[in-house]
């Protein structure tokens, strides 16, 4: 069974600071996603990472993937209040049964304080 | 439409009542998923359709949960005899291809239906 662990689950940051959210997963994956969720809203796709060493950046967010370590990171640079949300990583299995569905981490609730 | 549409947005049901939640995926999307998101948790897989075929229903919590997609487009998730533990947000997602995504095609999620059982 695929397990996805995120940490930290709660993150309170000051504006302007940097931090990293970690996502570990337990089995081979061919695709890893990062989503953002605002309160009462649906999931907004941020990044999809396909291969080892993949790095994607959008604004103050940068995601990377190490398939050998089964680890993805979401790095936040110079946080601003607008980044406050819950961030989820989700993993799609690389092979075998049920390789169409996503398994989500529990999410990281990010609060950026002035 | 441009996105995945779910209705109703909010549903309050008395314990024991039956409910039906609707999902209208992006036109042409082959794959359709239902997820359940409990408060403060990540979404958990319920069931998967490829066109009208329900290929995986392993995540449905009990036989009170039933999903269908008869014409390969709109899907309905039905919960019979609702219980308090069914309270959650039910998310629908669709994807263009049969394997649930290809290269940069991802999964598009709807806004969800928040079900509260009282």
Chain A environment of B114 (Cβ under 8 Å):
40
| Domain covering A4-113: architecture | Sandwich (2.60)
Cα–Cα dist A3/A18, whole Å: 27
> Cβ–Cβ contacts within 10 Å for residue B24, how many?
18
Chain A environment of B43 (Cβ under 8 Å):
43, 88, 90, 102, 104
Task: Assess B39–A contact: CB distance below 8 Å, yes or no.
Answer: no
CA distance A17 to chain B (A): 25
Chain A environment of B98 (Cβ under 8 Å):
100
Cα–Cα dist A96/B35, whole Å: 21
Residue B60, domain CATH: 2.60.40.10
Residue ranges of domains in chain A = 4-113
Is residue B12 in some structural domain?
A: no
Q: pLDDT tens, A40-80?
A: 888 999 999 988 888 999 999 999 999 999 999 999 999 99
Three-class secondary structure of residue A84 per DSSP: coil
Is residue B64 in some structural domain?
A: yes
Q: pLDDT tens, B74-110?
A: 999 999 999 999 999 999 999 887 554 444 457 899 9
Count how many domains chain B has. 1
């Amino acid at each position: 069974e695929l397990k996805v662990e995120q940490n930290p689950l709660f993150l309170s940051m000051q504006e302007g600071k940097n931090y990293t959210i970690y996502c570990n997963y337990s089995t081979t994956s061919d695709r890893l996603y990062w989503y953002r969720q605002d309160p009462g809203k649906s999931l907004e796709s941020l990044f999809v990472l396909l291969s080892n060493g993949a790095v994607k950046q959008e604004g103050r967010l940068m995601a990377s993937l190490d398939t050998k370590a089964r680890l993805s990171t979401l790095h936040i640079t110079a946080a601003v209040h607008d980044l406050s949300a819950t961030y989820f990583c989700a993993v799609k299995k690389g092979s075998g049964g049920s390789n169409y569905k996503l398994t989500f981490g529990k999410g990281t609730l990010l609060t950026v304080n002035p | 439409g441009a996105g995945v549409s779910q209705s109703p947005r909010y549903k309050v049901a008395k314990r024991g009542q039956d409910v039906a939640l609707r999902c209208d995926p992006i036109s042409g999307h082959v794959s359709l998923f239902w997820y359940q998101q409990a408060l403060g948790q990540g979404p958990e897989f319920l069931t998967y359709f490829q066109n009208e075929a329900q290929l995986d229903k392993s995540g449905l919590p009990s036989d009170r949960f039933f999903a269908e997609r008869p014409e390969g487009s709109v899907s309905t998730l039905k919960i019979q005899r609702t219980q308090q533990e069914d309270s959650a947000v039910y998310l629908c997602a669709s994807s263009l291809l049969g394997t649930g995504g290809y290269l940069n095609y991802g999964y598009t999620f709807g806004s969800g239906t928040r079900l509260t059982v009282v």
